[in-house]
Amino acid sequence: MNIAVYFTPLGLNAGELGGRGVVVIDVLRATTTIVAALANGAKAVVPAASSEEAVRLTANLAKDGFVLAGERKSLKIEGFGLGNSPREMTPEAVGGKTIFLATTNGTPALVAAQGGDPVLVGAAVNFKALVARARQVFAQRGELIIVCAGREKQFALEDAYTAGRLIKAVRPGARKLTLNDAARAALGLTRQFATWAAALEQSEAAHQLVDVDLADDVTFSAKADRFGVVPSYADRRIT
């Protein structure tokens, strides 16, 4: 059995994930935000590779059915209805709507993972439910691929730590387990940080959020198992 981690989606070749079981992680904050939106009644989330693409995808849609959401440098994009804060994804804001989301690293990573089957959306806030689903996929396929969004094409601590926690949770019972180097390093991080909060708070992404007064998003994202949904991405939509 085999678990492979990618610390950023850059190493993925087009079509490489076709039909393979994938988990995408961007804990601060895109995947946390997507989980919160769907748990709070959004109809679907459509990840866009850029804000321009999000605008283009909505050009011919009825205004009352969708919300544009996303960030640049952590802050809401001008003209968009919502930013990328999981705390904004309230039932009032997202209920019944399709959210077109454009973020710096998270939504491009999801777009890069298209074709995986399934592509599961992972975070701390849905961790227990994610583990249950990922264990099923791993047992059936004998393989699991974990794609971290990373940050500005680099390693991101919070995503790698979450990947490590996921490996630790799915591996019991695996026969002849092969891990790639990134998976081994991710696993090592779980010995370094005892809690989600400890790992997330030390990350560069958290420092950037604190700098723009979004420390509450770090706290929100570090609380495991708030939601029981495991969003899955197929046919360009996450539901």
51 binding ligand MLT? (CB under 6 A):
no
| 105 scored as a contact of ligand MLT (CB under 6 A) | yes
Tell whether residue 106 is a contact of ligand MLT (CB under 6 A): yes
Q: Which stretch binds ligand MLT (CB under 6 A): 21-29, 90-98, 159-167, 196-204?
A: 21-29
**Closest CB to ligand MLT among residues 109, 183:** 109
Site for ligand MLT in 148-187 (CB under 6 A): 149
Half-sphere exposure of 198 (CA within 13 A, CB side): 7
By CB under 6 A, name the one of 29, 97, 133, 135 that touches ligand MLT. Answer: 29
List residues bridging with 132 in a β-sheet.
Answer: none
- Residue appearing with tokens 């360009």: 236
Candidates 15-23, 104-112, 174-182, 228-236: pick the segment binding ligand MLT (CB under 6 A): 104-112
Least distance (Å) between residue 42 CB and ligand MLT: 16
- Helices 181-192 and 157-170, interaxial angle, to 10°? 100
User: 3-state secondary structure string, 199-212?
Assistant: HHHCCHHHHHHHHC
- Sign (positive or negative) of CA dihedral 58, 45, 201, 145: negative
> Cα(79)–Cα(181) distance, rounded to whole angstroms?
42
Q: Tell which phi-psi region holds residue 98, choosing left (phi > 0), alpha (psi between -120 and 50) or beta.
A: beta
For the bound state, the minimum distance from the C-beta of residue 13 to ligand MLT, rounded and expressed in Å, comes to 22
d(CA 182, CA 203): 18
Residue 108 Cβ, how far from ligand MLT at the closest point, in Å? Answer: 8
Picking from 135, 197, 211, the residue whose alpha carbon sits closest to that of residue 166 is 135
Q: What is the closest distance, in whole angstroms, from the C-beta atom of residue 73 to ligand MLT in the complex? A: 8
Q: How far apart are CA 160 and CA 182, in angstroms?
A: 8
**Residue 86 in the binding site for ligand MLT (CB under 6 A):** no
* Binding test (CB under 6 A) with ligand MLT, winner from 51, 84, 98, 126: 84
# residues near ligand MLT by CB under 6 A: 12
Amino acid letter for position 186: A
Closer to ligand MLT by Cβ: residue 28 or 94: 28
In the bound state with ligand MLT, the residue whose beta carbon lies nearer, of 184 and 207, is 207
For residues 29 and 135, which CB has a smaller minimum distance to ligand MLT in the complex? 29
Eight-state DSSP code of residue 176: S
Structure tokens at 41: 């009644």
Which residue of 4, 17, 23, 30 would you call a contact of ligand MLT, by CB under 6 A? 30
Given the rule CB under 6 A, which residues bind ligand MLT? 26, 28-30, 71, 74, 84, 103-106, 149
